[in-house]
């Protein structure tokens, strides 16, 4: 019995319109099953993923984030998934520096034919995040509890929102 046994994580999934969103459609058509903890957002490409979306998701209540895209070499827009991959590597380092378990954010390649793979990866991530427990924003940044840390990242996003 683990301490997080009854904890149901909330996962936000970013999907590419051309591959992983279609894989999710395929998983549905084939009636494959995965836990209801994930909620998907469709982007045109994994290259569209601004890393601050992930920080925003985590600061706004998600316990984990899945980023999905076409397999390397199969991007609908030639090579933009490589950019997503690079941003993901940087993001993981940033998360570590912020004191958040980088395993909460996962990059998965899933082609339009890989409904089964997506199903499997979602199931795995939900279990992994469940084992990590609810996301606790680190308090060590300023010693005043979790909220300021949230607002710090929130500020990053809002600055962008204002600018955009």
| Interacting residues with other proteins (CB under 8 A) | 6-8, 10, 12, 18-19, 21-22, 24-25, 27-29, 31-37, 39-45, 47-51, 53, 56-57, 60-62, 73-74, 76-80, 83, 87, 111-114, 119, 150, 154, 157, 159-164
Q: How far is the CB of 149 from other proteins (least distance, A)?
A: 13
Q: Give dist(CA 158, CA 164) in Å, integer.
A: 10
- How many CA atoms are closer than 13 Å to the CA of 20, on its beta-carbon side? 29
Q: How far is the CB of 132 from other proteins (least distance, A)?
A: 15
Q: Which is nearer to other proteins, 73 or 143 (CB)?
A: 73
Q: Which is nearer to other proteins, 102 or 154 (CB)?
A: 154
Q: What single-letter DSSP state applies at residue 153?
A: H
Q: What single-letter DSSP state applies at residue 71?
A: P
Q: Give dist(CA 129, CA 115) in Å, integer.
A: 21
CB neighbourhood size of 41 (10 A): 13
Q: Which is nearer to other proteins, 106 or 111 (CB)?
A: 111
Q: Which is nearer to other proteins, 62 or 95 (CB)?
A: 62
Q: Which is nearer to other proteins, 27 or 125 (CB)?
A: 27
Q: How far is the CB of 107 from other proteins (least distance, A)?
A: 15
Q: Which long-range contacts (CB under 8 A, 24 or more apart) does 79-84 make?
A: 80/45, 80/46, 80/47, 80/48, 81/16, 81/45, 81/46, 81/47, 81/109, 83/47, 84/45, 84/46, 84/47, 84/49
Q: How far is the CB of 96 from other proteins (least distance, A)?
A: 21
Q: How far is the CB of 50 from other proteins (least distance, A)?
A: 4
């Amino acid at each position: 019995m683990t301490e997080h046994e009854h904890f149901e994580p909330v996962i936000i999934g970013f999907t590419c319109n051309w591959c992983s969103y279609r894989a999710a459609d395929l998983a549905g058509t084939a009636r494959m099953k995965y836990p209801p903890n994930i909620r998907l957002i469709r982007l045109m490409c994994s290259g569209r993923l601004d890393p601050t979306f992930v920080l925003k998701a985590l600061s706004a209540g998600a316990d984990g984030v899945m980023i999905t895209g076409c397999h390397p070499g199969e991007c609908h827009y030639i090579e933009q998934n490589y950019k997503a991959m690079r941003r993901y590597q940087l993001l993981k380092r940033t998360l570590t520096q912020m004191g958040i378990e980088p395993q909460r954010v996962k990059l998965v390649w899933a082609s339009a034919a890989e409904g089964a793979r997506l199903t499997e990866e979602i199931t795995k991530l939900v279990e992994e995040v469940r084992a990590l427990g609810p996301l606790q924003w680190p308090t060590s940044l300023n010693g005043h509890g979790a909220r300021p840390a949230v607002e710090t990242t929130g500020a990053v996003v809002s600055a962008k929102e204002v600018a955009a």
